[in-house]
Amino acid sequence: MSDVRRALQLLVGLVLYAASIALLVRAGLGNMPWDVLSEGLSERLGWTFGTVTVVVSVVVLLCWIPLRQRPGVGTVANVLVIGVLVDPFLALLGLLEDPLPLAAAIAMTVAGIALNGVATACYIGTRLGPGPRDGLMTGLVARTGWSVRLVRSGIEVVVVAVGWLLGGPGGLGTLAYALLIGPLVHALLPRFTVPPRTGAPGGAAPTEVGTART
C-alpha cells in the first residue's frame, strides 16, 4: 500500500507543481527563479514554455554526470509530467482577461506560491528521487562542501540574472517565492513524507523535518 501511495502522491505533486508554475507565469508579477530563465529562453527561441522547461531539465540532468548524481523514478517523472502539463495549464489560464486586474494577479501569485509549497512537499516526500534542479544543488553541495543555502542561493541568482537578460520576467513574485518557499516546504514536508517500510532500504525520513505523519 505504501508503494501505491508513493506513486499517487508523486503524480499529484507533479501535477500541482505544473499548475503552480502556470499560476505564477500567468499572474505576471514574477516567475519562480528557474522559470525566469525558461520564459526568457522561450521568448528568444520561439518555443513553448513547456518545451523549454523539458530541455532545461535535460541539460541540468546532464550536469549530474560529473557530480555523480543518480536519478530516480521521481526525477524522470518530474521532467516529463511537469513539461507536458505546464503548457495546457497556461492555455487554460490564458482564457482569463488580459491584462489581469492587480488584485487578481496578486491572488494568483499567492495561490501559486502556496500550491508550489504543497506540490514540492508531495513529490519530495515520496523519496523517489529529487527533481533535476534539486539534484544539481545537492550534488554541488556534496562536491564543494559549501552550505545548501549558499549553493541554492548562488544557483538561483545566476539563473534569474541570465533569464532576466534574456527577457524573462523577474519581479516581486520572484522575491516572494524565494523568501516563502523554504519555510512552506519545511512546515509541510513532515506531513507528506512517506515513511520507509520496516527493514526496507531507503533510510529514515530526513532528519531536518522530523518524524513524518501519515
Query: Using CA atoms in the order 73, 74, 75, 79, what is the torsion angle rounded to 10 degrees?
Result: 110
Looking at residue 204, what is its pLDDT? 39
Looking at residue 213, what is its pLDDT? 30
Q: What is the pLDDT of residues 154-199, one digit of tens each?
A: 998 999 999 999 999 999 999 999 999 989 998 999 999 988 765 5
What stretch of H or E contains 168? none
Q: Find out whether 53 and 132 touch, Cβ atoms under 8 Å.
A: no
Q: Looking at the domain assignment, is residue 121 inside a domain?
A: yes
The number of distinct structural domains making up the chain is: 1
What is the Cα–Cα distance from 55 to 61, expressed in whole angstroms?
10
Looking at residue 212, what is its pLDDT? 27
**Cell numbers 532528519: residue:** 207
Residues in CB range of 86: below 8 A, 6 or more apart = 18, 21, 22, 49, 50, 53
Q: Which three cell numbers stand for residue 130?
A: 529529487
In this model, does residue 206 exceed pLDDT 50?
A: no
Q: Looking at the domain assignment, is residue 214 inside a domain?
A: no
Residue 173: domain span: 2-209
Q: Looking at the domain assignment, is residue 68 inside a domain?
A: yes
Q: Under DSSP, is residue 194 helix (H, G, I), strand (E, B) or coil? A: coil
Q: Looking at the domain assignment, is residue 14 inside a domain?
A: yes
**Cell numbers 534539486: residue:** 134
What is the Cα–Cα distance from 162 to 38, expressed in whole angstroms?
10
Q: What is the pLDDT of residues 18-74, one digit of tens each?
A: 999 999 999 999 999 999 999 999 999 999 999 999 999 999 999 999 999 999 999
What is the Cα–Cα distance from 147 to 75, expressed in whole angstroms?
23
Q: Looking at the domain assignment, is residue 7 inside a domain?
A: yes
Query: Dihedral sign, CA of 195, 201, 206, 207?
Result: positive
